[in-house]
Structure 1
Amino acid sequence: MQPTKTLFAAALAATFATTAPLAAQDTIKIGHIGVASGFLKSYGEPSNVAVDIAVEEINAAGGINGKPIELIRYDTGSDPKQAAVAARSLGRDDEVLAIAGPFSSGEASVALNDADRLKILMLPTSSSAPGLTEGRKYGWRLTEDEHKQFGRLLAAMKEKGLPMATAEIVYVSDEVVANAAGTKLYPELLSAAGVEVGDPIPVQWKTFDMSAQVANIVQSNPDIVAVAALPESASKLIAELDRQGYEGRVIGSQIFSDPNVVELFGPEGDGTLVVAGFWKGRTEQASNFNEKFVALANERGIHKLGAHHSDAQAYDTIYLIKQLMEAAGTTGDPAKLEEERQAIADQMEGVIFSGILGDNICFDGHDAELPGYIIEITGGEWTKFAEAPADACE
């Protein structure tokens, strides 16, 4: 695994009144554990774009405490073991002050152990598995867990009077969050909502033919099919449901709530309901980010119709780190590395943050309390069906 090192300050030499190469103490070193290869590439790579936008904006505005961010990025290749290697490399070799990432729950569940050992703040950018930060000292996340968001989706459906007496669950068994959602979270919350649920039906990520599983679903003819899968797997299932004549509604949590699914699902996706932690129309700043993100992603050959909430979370995570460092008076002096790392981590206690995800975001435990947006695909468009405000912190 090779690091991708990005020093945005070099292109902003005039801003920082120097044309000479910047010494280590002249930059603020932030690590980023991202995904640019492997099976999560199509989901993780756009988040790298969001991080780059935030870093470029911050550096263009004067950096952090007058110094530019030096972003050091490692690609995990979608491998949790490599996320741990990346954390150790960033902490010991690159001597970064804080780490944004890893991307997925599987990666974060491993790398957060190293964050605690290294005593360095780590903020995963997409991981939403329930309980991931419990017992962690240096691991926090600016994300909302699947349990709360899927519960909001079911509550919105009930409030709108949608048919939901019966349900079947299909989940991808070899993906960490999908497995947990399909075997534990969905059955629990659907049952709590008074929905009669069949035994969860497992499929594998590389499964091509889902006709047998779908035939069983069509035979039971449930009001809803709850899918716990990444977009490609979800699209194959939706296409097969349509082919076999299923007329109910497909729902899902945050796992496949990407604006690109309106193209991926096609006309068969109309009526699908998901929940997301970002809505582009929430504020002018959110809208501006979405436009900038789509433009830069497509410029890099990454086709995007809009920002996924993981992208918004990655963007806001960099701004949150900036806020913490400014409050801690971070200098980037290598001689003060351990002291400054601890000071940055200490700033997370009681922090209040406002960004494109929401205003006055607080943390209950080590998890942010974020709003939820129920999204319906209608006429091939990503539309807001309902929304839920962020819960208060204790």
Structure 2
Amino acid sequence: MTLRPALLAAAAAIAAFALPAHAADTIKIGNIGVTSGFLKGPGEPALAAFDIAVEEINAAGGINGKPIELIRFDTGSDPKQAAVGARKLIQDDEVLAILGPFSSGETRVALTVADRAGVLMIPTAASAPGLVDKSAYGWRLTEDESKQFSRLLAAIKDAGLPAETAAVIYVSDEVVSNTAGTKLYPPLMEAAGIEVMDPIPVQYKSFDMSAQAAQILEADPDLVAIAGLPDSASKVIKELRRQGFEGRIIGSQIFSDPVVVELFGPEGEGTMMVAGFWKGRTEASAAFDARFLEELDKRGIHKKGAHHSDAQAYDGVYLLKQIMEAAGVTGDPEKLEEERAAIAAAMEGVRFSGVVGDDICFAGHDAELPGYVIEIKGGAWTKFAEAPADSCE
């Protein structure tokens, strides 16, 4: 029996449709983020930074000619959910690599999943010391808290500001804040020649911090170091000032977000912290900051400028693009394990330039980044001092 041309064409089309796909049409990248819970404030804006980078890359031709497909999972600020998200993205969605989770607590549990599966994971704002030291697949485009806080203390000493005595107050139920307040701040300040009181805990949901503030005022230290996210730090600062504390308030990267200028209000004047991003560093840095604020405005999110975690989120997508192109990634499902391994291998010895820094290298699995000491002065986010990135040699 002879088939008519039209029937032949139809049969060919059906056969082609029935054949298994040998290559994906997209490059699948997982993104573990947060839009609710106590991390919502600093975490949600970072999602816009991821989206901006993906949009830019796709508009320019994607990765090796294929667009990025960003598959997102929301943890709700729950570390256990970060592990669930990692498993889903790796096993069900078959992503090639993962951007996120946001925090150190989430990353600590999710990394175990990524390491077992052999999938590259680049956390967003996880800055707890030593977090990826024992991980084979976790790499951070984030500067370690201990290094940044040390840079702040050095700047205070170099400027001759009063810094003989200090108190530490920390939010006990925030993982990174607890770690910073109990294990990071005290030894670093003591090493800098500063006498430190025993750290004082407060809880995230606590609205009455008067007793803790009164304890600090009785000691009357030169410095009060706060380990807490912006909302928590704001409560502590306002209570300290209400009770009459006149010394200098300081913090590390944990609350160094431009939004604190408004959040802390007049009570925040003179507060010093250290950040990993300065929008005036390059034209590209300034352009990102402007584009980021424009996107946040569309989403109904108010901020005064990009936090370093936002800039690191943006740069993280471009870092993945660079190593995926170097690894020749195709997104072919049949090459999933092979390409995951190639991506991880491409991180070794990589050098990367972005809005956060130029020619960034990695010491171990940690990026070496510059640091910017920020002071709230005249109600504005101002640069007090800066430190260049350390060498990876």
With normalisation by structure 1, the TM-score equals: 0.94
Distance 2:234 2:42 in 1: 15
Letter in 1 for 2:283: E
Once the two structures are superposed, residues 275-311 of structure 1 have per-residue CA deviations (whole angstroms, 9 ceiling, x without a partner) of 0000000000000000010111121011111000000
SS in 2 for 1:25: coil
> In the alignment, is residue 265 of structure 1 matched against residue 267 of structure 2?
no
Letter in 1 for 2:147: K
Once the two structures are superposed, residues 16-63 of structure 1 have per-residue CA deviations (whole angstroms, 9 ceiling, x without a partner) of xxxxxx996111110000011122111110000000000000001110
SS in 1 for 2:24: helix
Distance 1:102 1:242 in 2: 35
Distance 1:186 1:242 in 2: 22
Residues 146, 253 of structure 1: 8 Å contact kept = yes
Q: Which residue of 2 aligns with 1:30?
A: 29
Regions of 4+ moved over 6 Å: none
Q: Which residue of 2 aligns with 1:158?
A: 157
Percent identity between matched residues is 73
Once the two structures are superposed, residues 122-162 of structure 1 have per-residue CA deviations (whole angstroms, 9 ceiling, x without a partner) of 00010000010011111111000110000000000000111
Letter in 2 for 1:41: K
Letter in 1 for 2:150: G
Distance 2:288 2:100 in 1: 20
SS in 2 for 1:298: helix
Alpha-carbon deviation of 1:107? 0.4
Distance 2:155 2:213 in 1: 26
Shift in CA distance, 219/299, structure 1 to aligned 2, threshold 3 Å:
same
Distance 1:254 1:183 in 2: 16
Superposed, 1:3-82 pairs within 5 Å as 25-82=24-81
Superposed, 1:84-163 pairs within 5 Å as 84-163=83-162
Distance 2:224 2:22 in 1: 56
Distance 1:37 1:242 in 2: 30
Alpha-carbon deviation of 1:216? 1.1
Superposed, 1:1-394 pairs within 5 Å as 25-394=24-393
With normalisation by structure 2, the TM-score equals: 0.94
Shift in CA distance, 309/384, structure 1 to aligned 2, threshold 3 Å:
same
Letter in 2 for 1:221: D
Distance 1:373 1:185 in 2: 19
Residues 30, 96 of structure 2: 8 Å contact kept = yes
Distance 1:153 1:252 in 2: 8
Aligned residues: 373
Letter in 2 for 1:287: A
Shift in CA distance, 24/45, structure 1 to aligned 2, threshold 3 Å:
farther
Distance 1:182 1:298 in 2: 34
Letter in 1 for 2:36: S
Distance 2:39 2:279 in 1: 23
Letter in 2 for 1:165: E
SS in 2 for 1:376: strand
Distance 2:209 2:146 in 1: 26
Alpha-carbon deviation of 1:66? 0.7
Letter in 2 for 1:225: V
Residues 267, 379 of structure 1: 8 Å contact kept = no
Distance 1:135 1:31 in 2: 22
Distance 1:391 1:309 in 2: 18
Letter in 1 for 2:367: A
Distance 1:116 1:26 in 2: 27
Superposition RMSD on alpha carbons, in Å?
1.0
Distance 1:344 1:129 in 2: 25
SS in 2 for 1:313: helix
- Identify unmatched segments of 5+ residues in structure 1: 1-21
Distance 2:22 2:234 in 1: 49
SS in 2 for 1:385: strand
- Identify unmatched segments of 5+ residues in structure 2: 1-20
